Structure 1
Amino acid sequence: MMKGKALRLAIFAGLVGSTVSVLSAHAMTEKESVTVLNPVVVTAQRFETKDLDTPASVTVLDQEDLKNSGAKSIFDAVGQATGITTFSYGPLGLEFGGMESRTNIRGLDRSSLVLVNGAPINLDGKNSLNGLMMDNVERIEIVRGAASAQYGSEALGGVVNVITKTPTKSHGSIETRIGNEGYKKYATTVGTDKIEISTSKEYYGAQAKTSPDRIGRNYYNTRNKGYAHNIAVNVKPHDYVTINYMRQQSDSTYGQISTIPKAKWTTKKSALTETKYWHYRDIKNNGSIVYDDTTTKATLFFNTRRLVGESNSLANPKYVQSPYNYGAYKIGTEAQHTWKLYGDTHKAVLGVMGVHEAYQGLSDANKKVKADRNIMALYGNYEFQITPSFSTTIGGRYQVINDPINNQNVFTPQWQTLYKIDKSRSIYTNVGKAFTMPNIHDAFKWVTDLKDKKVSEYIKIPGGDLKPEEGWNYEIGFKQANKRDSWRVSLYHMRFKNFFDWAENPLDGNRKTIRINGGEFRNTGIEAEYKSYVTSDLIMTLGASYSNPQKQEIKATNWVQTAPKLELNAAFDYEKDKWQAGLSASYWGIRAFNRDGKRNPAFINVNAHVNYSPNESQTIGLYVNNVLNRQNVISQGDWEYWDLPRNYYVNYSYRF
């Protein structure tokens, strides 16, 4: 076993080493390198700043970064960033009904607020990146650290802002991917200087086993084939106005396969010892109208989700509707203005936001579940220079929340400082508070009268004192960007309380179906990123993070690890003449413990690709994911779900 592990690590090192050794001469201008190493950021401060002038930990993934990651999805690409771990029940971040993938920042589960062009798309506590087309993305900005002062609820660990492409000129493209494991993709884009329309359909094959055997429960998980159909429309009717719309419809089926030999299937068998299948149709929409003249920005946005599932078993082969089917939506509007004062040495932002979100049960069992929430927010920040080298920013957000369980008035402050050592180096501090509201449907509890055997149903909680999760983030960091390389280092401490937990419900056989507050989370860690032009045509990016994410359950005295302690990332991009190649590698080590009391195995994933462009219109590529063919666990904690084995696809694109 040790020899096999050593061999895999040797192969891993060899792949990295061989990529570094590919050096040549493809000229890149100094301006281009400075732009890549010190990019413009709009998410952290709500106005444009260079990364060196931003008092927060930021990573910007542009189109080249996304391509070089070798990732098939935005979910996988974001998961390769330093300080980010992902939780998924299927490869590519695939979801199965209410089993949603999620992106965690700094070890804090469900800690990311996901934005599209600055508008929030989290729904009912879910921060899924599914439904967003990589083909339609201009760049992704990741801001680590508590960000509720800027963006409100759900930004405990940070923000992921997906910024879509803007129409620029008449163009078109077609793309085809064919690979193993049943993978296929067909995509096309057409556009002018006013409108761009992209659509794709992606198919994935069945996976015989997505988890180990569930010892004591006599089953393992499997996945059947499925698809995702995406469309994105970007319109620019005016220099200051953009209209964006995205839709995804996905179809997935997962199952629990019995491990009992020659089982006699009857209706009396426990659901956990039967072969069962759950089939889901998931439809997501999001859109926005944005006015932005660089000083005033106004946005009208919406996002919706409709999840409809059904299940069957050998004992009951006819599909029946899932009791958890639901629809949810969010609509809102926001406006902000930026003032530049005293020769741009001072900047002020003042904004207002209103949001209405709702949840509706769609099954017979949960049709009584109808809940909504209204949020009004006033926010602002003021940045001023104390000396030519030292500046500070004070900000805050006040929210009035009309909630179905407990109304809230929440104030979240933030204080940042930035010291410019010289033109290429800076030191910053960032202290901020953040919070998350309970899910809307937590206003209901599931009730089953076991004695009278009445039909199970939801009833509304009469009042209650459920509080938001809330806490603080403290951070100090160093940034450096030269002509050929850059450094980003941050040291942070986080602590949050009132974490949502489950309590026993005496009306439901003492099952844990009532939401309560309980427990705390803490984490102290260090993150470092290094990016370098090794030669004029080879870019290297390295990242490392070491932390100690822990959660203390309600009424417990011990702290339990929640996420990997060690993360390492590496990416290489080589381009010369008609050839382009990339390699990326990710490692998660010292992971959380699983249900057997053992640590989840180290996650090591290597992606590699090579592209050849015979002319400006065509590109042919070969992409290989999970090069080392590892049985990677892509979930965190108790129950393990596995990624795909080594998989590949051939890509052909034509641009006109």
Structure 2
Amino acid sequence: MMKGKALRLAIFAGLLGSTVSVLSAQAMTETESVTVLNPVVVTAQRFETKDLETPASVTVIDQADLKNSGAKSIFDAVGQATGITTFSYGPLGLEFGGMESRTNIRGLDRSSLVLVNGAPINLDGKNSLNGLMMDNVERIEIVRGAASAQYGSEALGGVVNVITKTPTKAHGTVETRIGNEGYKKYAATVGTEKIEISTSKEYYGAQARTSPNRTGRDYYNTRDKGYAHNIAVNVKPHDYVTINYMRQQSDSTYGQISTIPKAKWTAKKSALTETKQWHYRDIKNNGSIVYDDATTKASVFFNTRRLIGESNSLATPVYVQSPYNYGAYKVGTEAQHTWKLHNDTAKAVLGVQGVHEAYQGISETNKTVTAARNTVAIYGNYEFQITPSFSTTIGGRYQAINDPINNQNVFTPQWQTLYKIDESKSIYTNVGKAFTMPNIHDAFKWVTDLKDKNVANYIKIPGGNLKPEEGWNYEIGYKQANKRDSWKVSVYYMRFKNFFDWAENPLDGNRKTIRINGGEFRNTGIEAEYKSYVTSDLIMTVGASYSNPKKQDVNKKDWVQTAPKLELNLALDYEKDKWQAGLAASYWGIRAYNRDKQRNPDYINVNAHVNYSPNESQTIGFYVNNVLNRQNVISQGDWEYWDLPRNYYVNYSYHF
């Protein structure tokens, strides 16, 4: 066992070490790379700052990074960032109906807030990135650490802000991809100085069971063919106004296939087993209208989801309606103003936000589930210089929440400091409180009618006493950005209480369907990232994270690991003349335990690609994902879901 782990680590280290040793011997140039190594950040402080002047742990993924990652989706690209681990029920972040894939920052499951152009798109506690169109993204900003003082609920671990493109000039692109595993994509983008429209349709082939046989487990998940159709529209009617809209409609089918001979799909109907098949149609929309003149920013935004599913089995081969179908939406408005004070030695931000969020069951079984939440917030921060080299920021947010379970009034403070050692180096501290509200539909319990044991339904919790998850993040970090390389190191400690868990429901066969507050979550860790122009043609990024994420069980006695303790990332981007190539490798080690009380196997994923542009109008590319053909578990914890084996596609794009 130890030899196997050593071999896997050696493979990863070899990819890093051999590449660096060979390429570092080449001569470096004085390439100016300020925008790459010290990018502008808007998410962390709610106004533009350089990374070196931002007292928080930040990663910016720009268009070049997205291309070089070899990722097919935003979900995959974000999962390659240091300190981020993803939880997926299907390859590329594909979801299993209402079982959403999610992005975890610093070991916190379901505790990352996803924004699009600064507007929250989390729905009913879910932070899915699925449905966002990769072709429409300008850059992605990831802020690690408690961020509720700036953005409210659900930002315990941090924030992922997806910033879409803005129309700039007349242009057009058509693109096609064809690969194995039934993968195809067709996409087109056309734009002017005022409007840009992008659309794509992706097809996914059927995926057979890739997991090995497990002791005591007689069924495994499979996936049938599916597709996702995306459209994105960006409009710029005025220098200060942008209008953005994205929509995705996906169609997917999942199954469970048994390893018991008599329970195959071809078995007779009398062979009653747990073999099932689910079909889902998932429709997501999000949009915003934003006014931004650099000092005043105002927006109205919305996002919606409608999930319609059905299932069958050998016992009931005809599809029947899923009891979990639902529709959800969020609408809101926000306005903030930034003041520059005392000869630009101080800045102040003051803002207000109002949000309405609703959930509605749309199947016969859950149609009584109707819940809504209203939130009004006022927030602000004040940054001032104590000395020319030392500054501090004090911020906070007050939220009044009208909730179907329990109304809340929550104040979350934040205190940050930044010391500039010189023009290329800084040290920061970041202390903040954060919280997460229960999911809206947690106001309901699934129970069996006491008079008729065969009838089950949802009932509303009368006077529920669920409390928000809440706690503190403490962090200290060092940043350095030179002309050709940059360093980032952060050490943090997190402690939160009232973590949501499930308790057994005696009215529902002791299934865990009652939402309760469990124990604490704690994590102590260190993150490091190095980015370098190794040569004038090669950019290298290396990241590493070691932490100890754990939470108490329901009985508040034992501590359970929640995410991998060790994470390593490597990215290489090479461009010269008409050629461009990239490699991205990720490793997750010392992972959480699965349902067999064994650690999930080490995750090692390597993506590689090469592009050739014979002229300015055309690009031909070849992409390979999971180069090592690993059986990678892409979920965390008890239940295992598996990535695709080695897969590849050929890409052709024409620009005009």
**Residue 185 (structure 1) aligned with residue 185 (structure 2):** yes
SS of corresponding position for 2:534 = strand
Whether contact under 8 Å (1:210, 1:641) holds in the other structure is no
What is residue 60 of structure 2 aligned with on the other side?
60
Q: Does the 8 Å contact 1:295/1:337 carry over to 2? A: yes
The equivalent residue for 2:79 is 79
Residue matched to 1:640: 640
Correspondences of 1:263-278 after superposition (within 5 Å): 263=263, 273-278=273-278
Amino acid at match of 1:508: D
Equivalent residue, structure 1, for 2:590: 590
Q: Cα offset for 1:506?
A: 2.6
Match of 1:123 in 2: 123
The residue type paired with residue 285 of structure 1 is N
* Aligned: 1:51 with 2:51: yes
Tell me how far 1:557 sits from its aligned partner: 1.8
How far apart in 2 are the matches of 1:19 and 1:450? 67
* Aligned match of 2:513: 513
Q: Distance in 1 between matches of 2:460 and 2:564?
A: 38
Q: CA deviation at 1:14?
A: 5.0
Give the C-alpha shift of residue 9 in structure 1: 5.7
Aligned to 2:537: 537
Q: Unmatched 5+ residue regions in structure 1?
A: none
User: What does residue 248 of structure 1 align with?
Assistant: 248
Q: Is the 8 A contact 1:147 1:433 kept in 2?
A: yes
Amino acid at match of 2:44: A
Counterpart in the other structure of 1:624: 624
Counterpart amino acid of 1:396? Answer: G
Shift of 1:18: 5.9
Residue pair 1:266, 1:315 contacting (<8 A) in 2 also: no
Pairs aligned (count): 653
The structure-2 alpha-carbon separation of the partners of 1:288 and 1:276, relative to structure 1 and needing over 3 Å to count, comes to same
User: What amino acid is aligned across from residue 616 of structure 2 in structure 1?
Assistant: E
Counterpart-to-counterpart distance in 2, 1:113 and 1:328: 17
Letter in 1 for 2:453: K
Residue equivalent to 1:207: 207
Distance 1:26 1:253, change over 3 A: farther
Judge conservation of contact 1:25–1:576 (CA < 8 Å) in 2: no
Q: What displacement does 1:507 show? A: 2.1
User: Cα deviations across residues 396-449 of structure 1 (Å, max 9, x unaligned)?
Assistant: 000000000100000000000000000000000000000000000111111113
The corresponding residue for 2:162 is 162
CA contact (8 A) 2:195 2:234 kept: yes
Residue pair 1:212, 1:640 contacting (<8 A) in 2 also: no
Matches of 2:404 and 2:212 in 1, distance apart?
40
CA distance in 2, matches of 1:582, 1:432: 37
Whether 1:580 aligns to 2:580 is yes
Alignment partners' CA distance in 1, 2:232 and 2:37: 30
Aligned to 1:377: 377
Distance across 1 between alignment mates of 2:536 and 2:362:
57
CA displacement, residues 469-527 of structure 1 (integer Å, 9 cap, x when unaligned): 00000000000000110000000000000011112223222322111111110000000
- Distance apart, 1:453 and its partner CA: 2.6
The amino acid that maps onto 1:140 is I
Q: Which amino acid aligns with 1:322?
A: S
Amino acid at match of 1:333: T
CA distance in 1, matches of 2:6, 2:559: 33
- 1:25 CA drift (Å): 8.7
Shift of 1:465: 1.2
Residues 420, 426 of structure 2: 8 Å contact kept? yes
CA contact (8 A) 1:26 1:577 kept: no
* CA distance 1:10–1:346, change in 2 (3 Å): closer
Alpha-carbon distance in structure 2 between the residues aligned to 1:35 and 1:262: 62
Q: 1:452 aligns to what?
A: 452
CA apart distance, 1:109: 0.4
**Kept after mapping to 2: 8 A contact 1:450/1:508:** no
Shift of 1:556: 3.0
Q: Tell whether 2:426 aligns with 1:439.
A: no
- Which residue is 2:89 aligned to? 89
CA distance in 2 between counterparts of 1:579 and 1:428 reads 40
Name the aligned partner's letter for residue 128 of structure 2. Answer: S
Aligned to 1:333: 333
Q: Verify: 1:216 aligned to 2:226, yes or no.
A: no
Residue 48 of structure 1, CA deviation: 0.1
Aligned to 1:302: 302
Distance in 2 between residues matched to 1:299 and 1:152, nearest whole Å: 17
Q: Deviations over 1:75-113 (max 9, x none)?
A: 000000000000001100000111110000000101110
Q: How much has 1:26 moved relative to structure 2? A: 11
8 A Cα contact 1:211 1:222, kept in partner: no
> Displacement of 1:377 after TM fit?
0.1
Deviation for aligned residue 1:118: 0.2
Whether the aligned pair in 1 keeps the contact of 2:262 and 2:271 (CA below 8 Å) is no
Q: Distance in 2 between matches of 1:23 and 1:145?
A: 34
**Cα distance in 2 for residues equivalent to 1:358 and 1:565:** 36
User: In 2, Cα distance between the equivalents of 1:242 and 1:470?
Assistant: 35
Counterparts of 1:556 and 1:44 in 2: how far apart (Å)?
Answer: 34
Partner of residue 397, structure 2:
397
Q: How does 1:457-606 map to 2 (within 5 A)?
A: 457-606=457-606
Structure 1 residues 647 and 266, CA gap change in structure 2 (3 angstroms): closer
Q: Structure 2, unaligned stretches of length 5 or more? A: none
- The corresponding residue for 2:362 is 362
Identical-pair percentage: 88
- Residues 338-392 of structure 1, C-alpha deviations (whole Å, 9 max, x = no match): 0001111100000000000000001000000000000000000000000000000
Contact 2:485–2:531, Cα closer than 8 Å, also in 1: yes
- Match for 1:191: what amino acid? G
Preserved CA contact (<8 Å) 1:338 1:349: yes
Q: Which amino acid aligns with 1:572?
A: L
1:281-333 CA distance string (max 9 Å, x none):
00000000000000000010000000000001112110000000000000000
